[in-house]
């Protein structure tokens, strides 16, 4: 609608939307009791005025991000009832092909950027949704719905601060239904009004009666106008009540019946309040006609869902990744005579891709004038400006979430986290958001994002919280590609490929190798992800090494030639997807294999590589696979202990000697 004065028809339209939500949710309860829902369904009954009032004020091109209680938001933004109901029943005709369910419905054509099963999970993403509008200069507004419980999550504070600093056009709608699962807001929140927290971030906070659809609409209109005028975000707290339980079937033992009964009264229930207003403006027949029309729509949606087929079992492994046609045709020119460092190679890759594609931008802590913690982005802000080389607050969850939000809206962000250790602060956004959105929403949205993170021991006494090798963690997450270059040539070619990839890529850079030098051609090239490289040919033993351990293994191999031992060194380069064919071909030739990695041995990268090799090459092995990996300890501070905690050139040599002499 997007107008200040509402007509009778506007109110009738709002009533229709609210009834769609109410009747949809009541049918969800019925289906749940019949055992037709595969999982929990979180109900929106009693809160219909909020989604309706806010979404009525939006334009079609504006976007929303929702919560686990998101049916109402999706319906209010124009979601198809048939597709929603089919998704809840796990049918292939559902919005997400039966892969998302009640908590994960999205329709990007309608600007519905997904409901989210993680409390507060959408808050950081919403910063990226708003930032995209700002960077593209489209004047689109983003709306983030969340509950009172989410206001106590760190993601709430990180997101509001970043949104305020950048003045992104995002509206934050807190649906304070007074209970976070079973805990009353009075026992979980330190302020009387959650909107009061807006003052801490220099933005406007508004409290509104969330059961009055007109009041919600007017508050939303004001916030939206401010957002479109580059005045930044607004926090609107809508006071409401969750009439039903936390989920369909919730026994609700944590609140008394009198309280619920009070909120069902005509002066509180949002639909009854609107109908009371309409009875003074229109005939009863018009209201009854809307009831009948909506009831028929719900009936048809249930029939559609029940008649729809379940997904094929063969589809369970589809949509984990999306294919990128650009990766099929690549050139790999000779390295040439130009010698540069890995730091310079990465800088060139980012610069070339930003010049090539205006959708690419870099964000992270100190990436601007400072050039990043390891100076990889030095000079880029002078070339591309602070909008595209964007310094962020120290807010890893918000940084990663912002990147994800921008990616799903068509940009191609490069997110820098200063140390891989700090990804632990952003694991929800990496693991539950970026990695899962493509699959969870049925392959209908891509997340073309690169997460750059320096890992490995530093040799500088950085100790346990700045020296970890966490690449195995990310290998374990379906939906993430994991890349580990070992030299400047690979670093540049792999990073360019990662930036062009339509999937989220974790790009692990070893902090000690930034100054490592090697030949890199001046002409354009990329190295496709998922292609291993034989760094040194040999006949006696295969060494499969990752990251810095490739450098160590090559040094060991050269020294062992003096002893007549011919070592082949294979660098996977990409851990996910893994080029097991190249590795297996080498192992079948030599019959012996040593896996060398820097991460902890238990459940680490070497374990996965070894298992994959055994599956492919068991009959070709002359002796068991051996592994050299980091010790199962946090990285110590003292230099002598730090060196002892990870494989060394000498240790690699000694193990190879024993293996080639069949001594182990």
**Structure tokens, 368:** 């601007």
Separation CA 225–CA 139 (nearest Å): 10
Return the number of other C-beta atoms located less than 10 Å from residue 612's C-beta.
Answer: 16
Separation CA 107–CA 90 (nearest Å): 16
Q: Could you tell me if 139 and 169 are in contact, meaning their C-beta atoms sit under 8 angstroms apart?
A: yes
Q: Could you tell me if 76 and 25 are in contact, meaning their C-beta atoms sit under 8 angstroms apart?
A: no
If one counts the domains in the chain, the total is 3
Residue 2 falls inside a structural domain? no
647 and 515 share one domain: no
**pLDDT value at residue 80:** 97
**pLDDT value at residue 326:** 54
Separation CA 412–CA 354 (nearest Å): 10
502 and 542 share one domain: no
Q: Could you tell me if 637 and 463 are in contact, meaning their C-beta atoms sit under 8 angstroms apart?
A: yes
Going from the C-alpha of 408 to that of each of 84, 125, 132, 344, 577, the distances in angstroms are 21, 9, 10, 29, 22
Helix-helix angle 605-617:580-590, to 10 degrees? 70
**pLDDT value at residue 461:** 84
Q: What is the largest CA-CA distance in the chain?
A: 98
**pLDDT value at residue 4:** 74
288 and 341 share one domain: no
Helix-helix angle 154-166:122-136, to 10 degrees? 10
Query: Exposed, middle or buried: residue 621 (CB in 10 Å: 0-12, 13-18, 19+)?
Result: middle
Q: Considering the candidates 466, 509, 568, 642, report the single residue annotated as catalytic.
A: 466
268 and 377 share one domain: no
Residue 180 falls inside a structural domain? yes
**Structure tokens, 489:** 């040539």
Where residue 329 sits, what CATH number does that domain have? 3.40.50.970
Supply the DSSP symbol for 422.
Answer: G
**pLDDT value at residue 278:** 94
Residue 196 falls inside a structural domain? yes
202 and 344 share one domain: no
**Structure tokens, 7:** 């007509």
Where residue 589 sits, what CATH number does that domain have? 3.40.50.920
Buried b (16+ CB within 10 A) or exposed e, 287-297: beebeeebeeb
Residue 573 falls inside a structural domain? yes
252 and 378 share one domain: no
370 is catalytic: no
Q: In this structure, is the dihedral angle defined by the CA atoms of residues 421, 422, 425 and 431, taken in order, positive or negative?
A: negative
Q: Is the peptide bond before 577 cis (omega within 30 degrees of 0)?
A: yes
- Give, for 19, the enclosing helix (H) or strand (E): helix 8-33
pLDDT in tens, 408-426: 999 999 999 999 999 999 9
159 and 226 share one domain: yes
Going from the C-alpha of 638 to that of each of 26, 73, 154, 175, 642, the distances in angstroms are 64, 55, 34, 51, 6
Supply the DSSP symbol for 195.
Answer: G
**Structure tokens, 248:** 């369909």
Question: Where would I find the H helices in 34-70?
Answer: 48-56
User: From the CA atom positions of the chain, what is the Rg in Å?
Assistant: 28
107 and 39 share one domain: yes
Q: Considering the candidates 396, 568, 608, 642, report the single residue annotated as catalytic.
A: 396
Residue 528 falls inside a structural domain? no
436 and 512 share one domain: yes
Q: Which of 220, 203, 198 is nearest to 64 (CA)?
A: 220
438 and 560 share one domain: no
Residue 1 falls inside a structural domain? no
With left for phi above 0 and alpha for psi between -120 and 50, is residue 529 left, alpha or beta? Answer: beta
Residue 320 falls inside a structural domain? no
Backbone angles phi, psi at 577, to 5 degrees: -75, 145
**Structure tokens, 347:** 């800088």
396 is catalytic: yes
Helix (H, G, I), strand (E, B), or coil: what is residue 183? strand
Query: Exposed, middle or buried: residue 648 (CB in 10 Å: 0-12, 13-18, 19+)?
Result: middle
Of 310, 336, 367, the last residue of a domain is 310
Of 519, 548, 578, the last residue of a domain is 519
Supply the DSSP symbol for 649.
Answer: H
Q: What is the per-residue DSSP string for 126-166?
A: HHHHHHHHHHHT----EEEEEEGGGGGSHHHHHHHHHHHHH
234 and 161 share one domain: yes
Separation CA 487–CA 510 (nearest Å): 10
Flag residues of the chain having pLDDT under 50.
329
**Structure tokens, 139:** 């004047």
Q: Which of 499, 486, 330 is nearest to 413 (CA)?
A: 499
DSSP E strands in 601-657: the ranges are 626-630
- Give, for 416, the enclosing helix (H) or strand (E): strand 412-416
Return the number of other C-beta atoms located less than 10 Å from residue 303's C-beta.
Answer: 12
Q: Could you tell me if 168 and 124 are in contact, meaning their C-beta atoms sit under 8 angstroms apart?
A: no
Of 484, 519, 554, the last residue of a domain is 519
Residue 317 falls inside a structural domain? no
**Structure tokens, 533:** 């490289």
**pLDDT value at residue 663:** 81
433: containing domain: 325-519
Provide CB contacts within 8 A for 90, sequence distance 6+: 38, 98, 101, 310, 311
Separation CA 95–CA 117 (nearest Å): 16
541 and 495 share one domain: no
Helix (H, G, I), strand (E, B), or coil: what is residue 482? strand
Helix (H, G, I), strand (E, B), or coil: what is residue 606? helix
pLDDT in tens, 321-331: 997 655 554 56
């Amino acid at each position: 609608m997007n107008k200040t004065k509402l007509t009778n028809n506007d109110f009738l339209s709002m009533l229709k939307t609210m009834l769609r939500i109410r009747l949809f949710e009541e049918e969800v309860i019925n289906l749940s009791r019949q055992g037709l829902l595969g999982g929990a369904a979180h109900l929106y009954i009693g809160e219909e005025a909020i989604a309706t009032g806010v979404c009525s004020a939006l334009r079609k091109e504006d976007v929303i991000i929702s919560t686990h209680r998101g049916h109402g938001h999706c319906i209010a933004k124009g979601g198809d009832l048939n597709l929603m109901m089919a998704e809840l029943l796990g049918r292939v005709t559902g919005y997400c092909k039966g892969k998302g369910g009640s908590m994960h419905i999205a329709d990007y054509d309608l600007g519905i950027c997904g409901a989210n099963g993680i409390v507060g999970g959408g808050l950081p993403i919403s910063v990226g949704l708003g930032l995209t509008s700002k960077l593209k200069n489209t004047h689109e507004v983003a709306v983030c719905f969340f509950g009172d419980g989410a206001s106590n999550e760190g993601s709430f504070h990180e997101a509001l601060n970043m949104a305020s600093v950048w003045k992104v056009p995002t509206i934050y709608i807190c649906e304070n239904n007074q209970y976070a699962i079973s805990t009353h807001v009075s026992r979980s929140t330190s302020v009387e009004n959650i909107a009061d927290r807006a003052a801490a971030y220099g933005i406007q906070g508004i409290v509104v009666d969330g059961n009055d659809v007109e009041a919600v609409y007017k508050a939303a209109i004001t916030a939206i106008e401010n957002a479109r005028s580059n005045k930044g975000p607004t926090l609107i707290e809508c006071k409401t009540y969750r009439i039903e339980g936390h989920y369909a079937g919730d026994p609700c033992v944590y609140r008394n019946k009198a309280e619920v009964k009070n909120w069902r009264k005509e002066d509180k229930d949002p639909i009854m309040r609107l109908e009371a207003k309409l009875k003074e403006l229109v005939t009863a027949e018009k209201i009854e006609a809307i009831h009948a029309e909506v009831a028929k729509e719900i009936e048809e949606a249930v029939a559609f869902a029940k008649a729809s087929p379940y997904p094929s079992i063969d589809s369970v492994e589809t949509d984990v990744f999306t294919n990128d046609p650009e990766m099929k045709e690549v050139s790999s020119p000779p390295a040439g005579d130009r010698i540069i460092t890995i730091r310079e190679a990465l800088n060139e890759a980012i610069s070339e891709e930003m010049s090539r594609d205006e959708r690419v931008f870099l964000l992270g802590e100190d990436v601007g004038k400072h050039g990043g913690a390891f100076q990889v982005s030095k000079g880029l802000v002078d070339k591309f400006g602070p909008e595209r080389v964007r310094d962020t607050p120290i807010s890893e969850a918000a940084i990663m979430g912002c990147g994800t939000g921008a990616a799903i809206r068509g940009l191609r962000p490069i997110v820098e986290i200063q140390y891989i250790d700090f990804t632990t602060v952003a694991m929800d956004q990496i693991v539950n958001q970026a990695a899962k959105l493509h699959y969870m929403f049925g392959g209908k949205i891509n997340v073309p994002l690169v997460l750059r993170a320096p890992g490995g021991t530093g040799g500088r006494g950085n100790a346990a919280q700045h020296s970890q090798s966490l690449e195995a963690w990310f290998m374990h997450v379906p939906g993430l590609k994991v890349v580990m270059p070992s030299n400047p040539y690979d670093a540049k070619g792999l990073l360019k490929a990662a930036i062009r990839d339509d999937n989220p890529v974790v790009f692990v850079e070893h902090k000690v190798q930034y100054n490592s030098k090697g030949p890199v051609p001046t002409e354009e090239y990329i190295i496709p992800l998922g292609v291993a490289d034989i760094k040194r040919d040999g006949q006696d033993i295969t060494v499969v090494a990752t990251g810095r351990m490739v450098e160590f293994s090559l040094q060991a191999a050269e020294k062992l030639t003096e002893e007549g031992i011919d070592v082949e060194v294979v660098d996977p380069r990409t851990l996910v997807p893994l080029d097991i064919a190249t590795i297996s071909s080498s192992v079948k030739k030599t019959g012996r294999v040593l896996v060398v990695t820097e991460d902890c041995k238990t459940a680490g990268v070497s374990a996965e590589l070894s298992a994959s090799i055994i599956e492919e090459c068991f009959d070709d092995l002359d002796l068991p696979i051996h592994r050299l990996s980091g010790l199962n300890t946090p990285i110590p501070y003292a230099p002598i202990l730090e060196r002892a905690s990870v494989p060394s050139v000498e240790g690699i040599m000694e193990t190879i000697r024993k293996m080639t002499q069949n001594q182990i």
